[in-house]
Structure 1
Amino acid sequence: MRPDKRNGTRDVIVDNALRLFAERGYDAVRVQDLARAAGVSRATFYNHFSERDEVLGVLFERLLVSEEAGSETAQDTPPLQRVGAVLNGAVRRMLQQPELARFVYTLPVRHESLLRPDVSSTPAVFVTIHRLLEAAAARGELRDDVPIDLVCAHVHNALETGMRAWADGRTDDPEGRVGMLVDLALYGILAPAGTRPPDPRPGHG
């Protein structure tokens, strides 16, 4: 099969998979349903995907691997301040595909687990966030006792939690919700120094 035809068949399968998953729910759709909706045989389906979950992974990649992240703020802005802007840019791009975004973020799974380990195009937003947090650590903006990978996971959780709240109908402002959660992840819940009462703990007042 020619590469262009192979990619075309793959896209038809994925496009129809999204429609079926959105209509019936992921658990109710079988491989034979996906093949039938795409107008191909089960054998052809398995020529492109080893299992149904792999189709789900491609849908998630479509949602996040769309364009380069990181252009939302000026390059001379401190890296920690750019994290929130990068994530909000990712939210705005995802909302350009609302059916796909709502479906993905109503699934009861951790979405990073859907990414194939061999995928060459790791979502740009994840790469950018990791780079910005490394730069912030190098500038002394982060605690030096917390591994960067753990900070990244904390920020990714903020993105996922905010998008889930929107997909579940608990907020109609996903960008605002993600922004608040990222602020909590990076800066905590304490009021700014000078505006809060003295710490009541011995030796902290």
Structure 2
Amino acid sequence: MDHAQRRKLQGAETQRKILHAALALVRERGFDRVSVRDICKAAGVTTGAFYHHFPSKEALLEYGFAPLDDYMRAALEGRGEEPPERRLWAILSAYTRFMEENRDLLGRYYQKRIAEPDTKSMDESRYTLRAMLDCFRQAEREGLLVPDRTPEWVAGFCFRHFRGVVVDWILHRYGYPLMPRMEEDYQLFSTLFHA
């Protein structure tokens, strides 16, 4: 590995440390009670390193839930051989736990997304969407997916639906338990698989 590649990997790792430290602190204290200095101390980086990667604390929101991909990878590790409908529930329940654990940052993230829309969240490079798509592709290969829809369409529809459930939960100021709502909706979505 040459010097430029090493620096690029180190930069990505520093950015990841900053995002994970910020997420943990926001979960503990709330977004407004966390300073850049707090984040740097928790991440073990200088403020210069922080500002090299992010122009401000608010800019962390632009990266949305990049730590969600790491969380989802860990939650789904070793589950690749499970039937697709079981893996889909594993994806949705892990996604829901992450959302419940990070609701303060989540609310701010979606406020920013609504004010400044972009297309990043439906990008196929996102791990959650890819994992969902893999489930539906496997279901199609095994003859388990309803025949009139493509795996890409079903994965996109599920992703949009369950993201919408989370947004509804935020709009209701977290006034109902999210996991039971997701499980109830999953029961309906499981009919996309057939014996």
- TM-score interval, smaller chain: 0.5 to 0.7
Please say if 1:11 is aligned against 2:36: no
Q: CA deviation at 1:64?
A: 4.0
Moved over 3 A (4+): 37-41, 49-55, 71-76, 105-112, 114-119, 182-186
Match of 2:132 among 113, 129, 134: 129
Please say if 1:97 is aligned against 2:97: no
- Higher helix proportion (structure 1 or 2): 2
CA distance in 1, matches of 2:185, 2:113: 20
What is the CA deviation profile of residues 9-33 of structure 1, one whole-angstrom value per residue up to 9, with x for unaligned ones? x828x939x97x954xxxxxxxxxx
Q: CA deviation at 1:92?
A: 1.1
Asked if the contact 2:61–2:108 (Cα under 8 Å) also holds between the matched residues in 1, the reply is no
Aligned to 1:141: 144
TM-score normalised by structure 2 residue count: 0.59
Aligned to 1:182: 186
Larger Rg: 1
3-state secondary structure, aligned to 1:133 = helix
CA distance in 1, matches of 2:124, 2:183: 31
- Structure 1 176/114 Cα, relative in aligned 2: closer, same or farther at 3 Å? same
TM-score normalised by structure 1 residue count: 0.57
Q: What is the correspondence of 1:27-66 to structure 2 with a 5 Å cutoff?
A: 45=51, 47-49=52-54, 55-66=60-71
Give the gaps of 5 or more residues in structure 2. Answer: 1-6, 41-45
Residue correspondences, number: 169
Q: CA deviation at 1:160?
A: 0.6
3-state secondary structure, aligned to 1:140 = coil
Give the gaps of 5 or more residues in structure 1. Answer: 24-33, 189-205
Backbone CA RMSD of aligned residues? 4.7
Q: CA deviation at 1:111?
A: 8.4
CA distance in 1, matches of 2:152, 2:145: 13
- Structure 1 57/69 Cα, relative in aligned 2: closer, same or farther at 3 Å? farther
Q: CA deviation at 1:127?
A: 2.6
